[in-house]
Amino acid sequence: MTSNNGKDNVKREDLECLINDAAEGLLNSKQIINLEEDLLFFPDLHRDYREIMQLPDLSAIYGEIPDEIHVMHIQNLVQKAKIFSVSFEETTIIWFRKYALAAFFLIFGLTSLTHYFLPQPITYQDESTLTDIIYPNEENITDAYVIYLDEMIE
Amino acid sequence: MAGYSINAFQEEIAVLYPRLNRALTAYLAGSRIDPEDILQETFLKACRNLDRFKGNSGLYTWLFSIGRNLCIDEFRKQKRAKVISHLPIEGFELKSDHYTSELEKEEVLLVRKAIAQLPEKLRELVVLKAIDEMSYTEVSAVLGVNEQTLKSRMFRARQLLAVSLKKMGVENP
């Protein structure tokens, strides 16, 4: 029984393939007669076969799109594709020529703005203040020594 | 074959573009994604990665794989399944469509909707095999599935399409 089922399954798969071939117009009249005879033993497949053979030609469901619709898109694509055909060196030179001046002004402007907005370093115009900051301790020692000498003299 | 020259690729664009446009339009039917956006992105991505194209599969097959991956990314973002089920058949009409009668128009739109409602794996197969007319070998290269499995799926897809069209009232499409 299992063996028969196995054979039936194989036969069914073969018949399904043949139905496909028939739908695609690959079978001659003799092969179609043979197929239809075989299908008599498989009523469900025979019904499928009849329905499938009645399906319209699916390749005609979507017609060719007129050329004039394509032309503009194709030209656009070819233009874009040309960009990829230019070598890296050429691209670099083209871009450099185009944007070098713009890049210079941009960098210059950004640098100036950065300089303007960032906090400025502290400047000391008074020399004594600067000395106080650089030598804070030494001055104290000198003062103390002068006071010490004055006391000694007295 | 090491890569593909950008100049050779440029020359191929005019041939590849209309075919990929038609295939992606079918693939994206019923979604809110504009095939034109995906197409542009596909070609540009291809330009950037031409050195990776080894020529094991055809150039078109490779391009479709790129486009398909971009679509999948978009589907994830937009949760496609919810959109399709509520879409009226007019949503499947294209500006470039020409019909000889209202009956023909309705039938075509219903078939488009039936295809769009197929499960993802079957839908992409129908688009590639039946609409774009790729061979099973090419489809196998795009989807990474063996040919026998593809044939089995194709049968299942046709079965479901027949059932779906019957439900839509198209008795003898």
Q: What is the pLDDT of residues B133-148, one digit of tens each?
A: 999 999 999 999 999 9
The structure tokens 């196995």 sit at: A6
DSSP conformation class of B81: H
What dihedral do alpha carbons B127, B128, B130, B134 form, nearest 10°?
A: 160
Residues in chain A: 154
Condensed to tens digits (0 to 9), the pLDDT of residues A32-42 reads 999 999 999 99
- CB distance from A74 to chain B under 8 Å? yes
pLDDT in tens, B1-22: 456 677 778 778 888 888 999 9
- The residue written with tokens 């040309």 in the block is A82
Which residue's entry shows tokens 């070609």? Answer: B43
Q: What's the mean pLDDT when you consider all of chain B?
A: 86
Higher pLDDT: A153 or A123? It is A153
Which pLDDT belongs to residue B173? 46
Determine the residue of chain A that is closest to B133 in CA distance: A59
Interface contact A52-B159, CB threshold 8 A: yes
Average pLDDT value for residue range B82-87: 64
- The pLDDT score that the predictor gives to residue B156 is 96
Residues 115-154 of B with CB under 8 A from A: 115, 126, 130-131, 133, 151-152, 154
Complex ipTM > 0.90: no
To the nearest 10 degrees (0 to 180), the angle between helices B136-143 and B59-78 is: 50
What is d(CA B105, CA B102) in angstroms, rounded to the nearest whole number? 5
Of B10, B96, B151, the CB nearest to A65: B96
Is the pTM higher than 0.80? The answer reads no
What is the DSSP annotation of A104-153? HHHHHHHHHHHHHHSPPPP----HHHHHHHHSHHHHHHHHHHHHHHHHHH
The band of A1, judged by pLDDT with boundaries at 50, 70 and 90, is very low
Question: Is B111's CB within 8 Å of A61's CB?
Answer: yes
Under DSSP, the state recorded for B101 is S
pLDDT at res. B68: 94
Inter-chain contact A70–B97, Cβ cutoff 8 Å?
no
What integer best gives the mean pLDDT of chain A?
78
Residue B134 has a pLDDT of 94
Angle at A11 between CA B118 and CA B160, to 5 degrees: 15
Please report residues of B whose CB lies closer than 8 A to that of A18.
none
Residues in CB range of B92: below 8 A, 6 or more apart: B29, B30, B109, B112, B113, B116
Task: Specify the pLDDT at position A78.
Answer: 72
